[in-house]
Structure 1
Amino acid sequence: MKLVVVSAGLSVPSSTRLLADRLAAAVDRQTPVDVQVDIQVVELRDLAVEIAHNFTNGFPGKALSAAQQAVTDADGLIVVTPVFSASYSGLFKSFFDVLEMDALAGKPVLVAATGGTARHSLVLDHALRPLFSYLRAVVVPTGVYAASEDWGAEGLEGRIERAAGELAALMTGLAAARPVAKADDFEVVPFAEQLAALSPTSPSGAH
């Protein structure tokens, strides 16, 4: 399975990237041993210029296009943003603004954020969940917010493990349920025949 981590941290090193890495490692641990997890990290800091150009010219650059394809092809996502003005960062939002509208439809997503104070923890529910619900992603029940005082605390570790377990379960469940279609598995019924079947005078439409 392919797990893509989208990190919107701006500094190096970044607490946002640290949280992203810990979440990814926890998902890997909680995935069944017979399932290999391919983890790819998308650092939005490195794509800022191409994202801006995409807004002005309508075309993604090479690196941005590769990141968009990785997100589209992923079996699951971890998305982590620093908090700016009580919401996600502009860079974080801009990346998802230039993504194809249906790219996240039905895709499991774990939302997470970092900030300087616990007062911003509601960003998960009032900003991140609505965004990814609008994009028709499947957001796992547990979001993870890490304030400065949370690092090293038992509560943060517990939330990381719980959220990672939920994402791993969704990813493995969807992968197991995904049908392998064959060309000869489909019966093509002409449109005229389908309409005829709905007609009140047809045997199948009679009551």
Structure 2
Amino acid sequence: MTTRTLAVVSAGLGVPSSTRLLADRLTTATVAALRERGEDATVEVVELREHARDLADAFVTGFPNAALRAAIETVTGADGVIAVTPVFTASYSGLFKSFADVLDRDALTGTPVLLAATAGTARHSLVLEHAMRPLFAYLRAVTVPTAVFAAAEDWAGGEGTSQELAGRITRAAGELADVVTGRPASARPADPFADVPSFEDLLRGNP
């Protein structure tokens, strides 16, 4: 059985957050859809709130530190990506955009991506189409047709989901699974700095 890697990017700020809750629902549904298609899955979650300072440092220095570099490699090396952001000021959050800004433009070329967003009201649902989809088109990712938006009223009884939201989650997860299983399993990208000697070795005269 082929094992696929799913990278889940959550830009929620709170703990817990509706953004992470939606990300978890989408992940569970996608893993189930992959298994229905005869493939297993491993899941790696990137919580962007844990990398807020790392992202700021990367903008100032021009280089990601080890923790942020690992998060970037998790996303760029995955067979499929689930990307979920809260809506701030009628668009994706600044934290979400900051992470997109540190990705190489070609790093997600051809990668299947499921887009999702959360907000307090359904009036922001078009963020998925006028903001998120163009962003990932610029990154040359392959976004699945169904994007999932969850407003406050979609969460029935806290962690439950409305019938409409559950249906969107199932449909989007199936679309992502279809695209992922139609592609060869990806390998982790090689680290271009893997063979670079450390600064300490250079000081010792060991090239």
Normalising TM by the smaller chain, what interval? Answer: 0.7 to 0.9
**Which structure has greater helix proportion?**
1
For the aligned residue pairs, the C-alpha RMSD in angstroms reads 1.1
Equivalent position amino acid for 1:122 in 2: L
Q: 1:141: how far off?
A: 0.1
Q: 1:62: how far off?
A: 1.1
Tell me the residue number matched to 1:172.
181
Unmatched runs of 5 consecutive residues or more in structure 1: 179-207
Write out per-residue CA displacement over residues 116-136 of structure 1, whole angstroms, 9 at most, x where no aligned residue: 000000000000000000110
Q: Does 1:99 align with 2:108?
A: no
Q: 1:66: how far off?
A: 0.2
Residues 105, 138 of structure 2: 8 Å contact kept: no
Tell me the residue number matched to 1:199.
none
Equivalent position amino acid for 2:171 in 1: R
Write out per-residue CA displacement over residues 13-46 of structure 1, whole angstroms, 9 at most, x where no aligned residue: 0100000000000000011354220100000000
SS at match of 2:140: coil
Write out per-residue CA displacement over residues 96-148 of structure 1, whole angstroms, 9 at most, x where no aligned residue: 10011111100000000000000000000000000000110000000000000
Q: Does 1:127 align with 2:136?
A: no
Q: Does 1:20 align with 2:20?
A: no
Could you state the TM-score of these two structures normalised by the residue count of structure 2? Answer: 0.84
Residues 7, 80 of structure 2: 8 Å contact kept: yes
Moved over 2 A (4+): none
Q: Distance in 1 between matches of 2:95 and 2:75?
A: 16
Tell me the residue number matched to 1:162.
171
Tell me the residue number matched to 1:4.
7
SS at match of 1:16: helix
SS at match of 1:37: strand
Q: Does 1:153 align with 2:156?
A: no
Q: How does 1:1-207 map to 2 (within 5 A)?
A: 1-32=4-35, 34-151=38-155, 152-175=161-184
Unmatched runs of 5 consecutive residues or more in structure 2: 156-160, 187-207
How many positions carry a matched residue from both structures?
A: 177
SS at match of 1:38: strand
Q: Distance in 1 between matches of 2:122 and 2:40?
A: 35
